Copies of this chain bind each other. A is one copy, B any other.
Amino acid sequence: MMALPVITLDEIQAVADKAQVLDVVRSALIAHAEGHTQVPPPTHLTFDEANGECHVKAGYVDGSPYYVVKVASTFYGNHRAGLPSNSGAVLASSARTGRPAALLADDGWLTAWRTAATGALITHALAADNACVGVLGTGLQARLQIEWLSALRPVPSVAVWGRRSEAASRLAGELRDLGLDAYPAHRREAAARDCVITATAATSPLGSTHDFATANHVTAVGADMPGKQELPVGLFAAAAVIATDDHAQSLSHGDFGHAARAGAVGHEADVPVGAILRDGRDDRSTLSIADLTGVGAVDAAVASAILERLLGG
């Protein structure tokens, strides 16, 4: 067979930029909301001894030249070996012949970018203008959520909470280096901002419904497999809008599913993120929640856009 091109992260970064990724992600989420995608259920492997997990997602946007299968893993003890926790690669294949077209050896960065882009887009669409932001979590995705949001709107201040206070101080420092007014905060302080973003691997709620009572918008990006949970189920009962990037996946994998199973909201209480990105929202005075689990078709769209630049369509 023809040798398969392996696209390195350097090559990907040479042709990808925030504006392009935001544009591609927005279009893919709208296509997904309108039913013009294929997104089979994601699957997982877990490695208890190594404290690792692997997520496999496939996706396709109708009419694209490529479909993709993405492997993204997080091994939480890798730092002890001097390795990053996140790894991964994306195999893109021709939607006309099925033949593998390229492997994007992105090391998990395409996932990080599309998650950042999805979060930033929906947070920007739903949070009040000039909302002060609280972020729960101090990892890469917590940083990217703020960084990409600030590419879409001014972010007046950012309160950062993490389980380890030194991690919160470090992230706040990194955000200040980007020109943002960021500082480490207590958990309740970060949860009480106008706009709250959760980006943790938590398996139980990061606070009570009361803790989030003053929030006007919450974007939750952490819960992406059964068993993970960031938000209290009661918060969903208080929300005027619940946006999910994928209805079925958020029910089975996300915070929305916890709330629906607990009876706090109906199983059909959500609206697609893509519909809000397409139509906007007039009333931003009441509580909105965006529950994101990561959509394979969005992965496909981002990888396709990069490959079209590198290889042609």
Contact = CB atoms under 8 A, between A and B. Distances in A.
Interface in A110-135: none
Number of copies of this protein chain within its complex:
2
A152 interface: no
A1 B11 CA distance: 12
Contact of A58 (B50, B54, B107): B54
B54 A93 contact: yes
Contact of A100 (B4, B71, B74, B93): B71
Given A3-B8, A71-B100, A91-B91, A58 B58 contact: no
A280 interface: no
A14 interface: no
Contacts of A105: 1, 3-4, 100
B40 A43 contact: yes
Interface residues of A, number: 45
A95 interface: yes
A96 B50 contact: yes
Contacts of A50: 95-98
Contact of A103 (B4, B60, B107): B4
Contact of A91 (B3, B46, B89): B89
Interface stretch (A75-83, A176-184, A201-209, A261-269): A75-83
Contact of A73 (B41, B52, B93, B107): B93
A87 B2 CA distance: 11
Contacts of A98: 47, 50, 52, 54, 73-75, 78, 87
A97 B103 contact: no
B89 A4 contact: yes
Interface of A: 1, 3-4, 6, 8-9, 38, 40-47, 50, 52, 54, 56, 58-60, 67, 69, 71, 73-75, 78, 81, 83, 87-89, 91, 93, 95-100, 103, 105, 107
What are the nearest 3 A-B pairs in CB distance?
A73-B98, A40-B43, A75-B98
